[in-house]
Amino acid sequence: MEKRLSHFLNYISVEKGLSKNTIESYERDIKKYISYLKEQDIDFANTTRKEIISYLLYLNKAGLSPASAARNIVALRSFYKFLLSEKEFSSDPTENIESPKKWQRLPKTLGYDEIERLINHNKGSDPSGIRDDAMIELLYASGLRVSELVSLKMSNVNLEAGYLITIGKGKKERIVPIGEVALGKIQKYLFSGRAGLLKGRASDYIFVTWSAKPMTRQGFWKLIKKYAKEAGIKKPISPHTLRHSFATHLLEHGADLRAVQMMLGHSDISTTQIYTYVTRERLKKVHSEYHPRR
């Protein structure tokens, strides 16, 4: 089984060009599935649709989020299709299995007042504070994934034209516009903050630490949680919360769904459509609270 998995991981890396993070996620999910089969004394070679459904029920009982369960089934579907192409299976047991994404909870977002409090919160006037302010503003203004944010290089941003180029999932390149406020904060950081962090050292990355190394996802995660707490935001927050808020607020203000899809880098518009449900739920809540004949 290890040999099969190794061949599959090499295939999705070389042939499919999937990102390192995606490959690592697939590997974890498939190994978890294989462990489950062993615990249930089920031979992998004899797995059918029944075993897949049982596994999804197991994940649900274990408290796995619908989004994570959906990622699991995507990993398994890819693995079985690979084995099918290698003639190791005669049929795909994941075929016609409903994606758990259809069961998913609505993404958590921040309200406009919470966004204002987070963005306007004083993060300090030293180089790291100026950097943090620019990063948080840019994340909300662009809807980037945190991995895309920390991977930005100087060559990726066009300050004059007001846009950036990022490489998303599947190594797909996309152009994302930068708002005037975010652009101003980036310029302030580049001209009066970044040099103080680098102290004469060189780096291709835009957002760097005091050691002149690129900011990490984990490092930025800790920063955004710290500032949210200081700003009095009670909701659990992560960098992805700002991505969700970016998409939801755009749609609430009448943005075209296809345009939001392009800015987020979603390959399938059905992924973007989840945000339309968020706006509907918010409208229903407003109506319930304020309509005189509710």
Q: Which residues are catalytic?
A: 145, 169, 240, 243, 266, 275
CA distance 229 to 81: 45
CA distance 204 to 41: 51
Can you tell me which residue has the tokens 């769904």?
Answer: 257
Give burial (CB, 10 Å; 0-12/13-18/19+) of 43.
Answer: exposed
Can you tell me which residue has the tokens 């998303």?
Answer: 168
Are 274 and 99 spatial neighbours (Cβ–Cβ below 8 Å)?
no
Q: Reading across the β-sheet that carries 163-167, which strands appear in turn?
A: 157-158, 163-167, 173-177
Q: 40: part of which helix (H) or strand (E)? A: none
CA distance 25 to 70: 12
> What is the full DSSP assignment across 223-285?
HHHHHHHHTT--S---HHHHHHHHHHHHHHTT--HHHHHHHHT-SSHHHHHHHHHHHHHHHHH
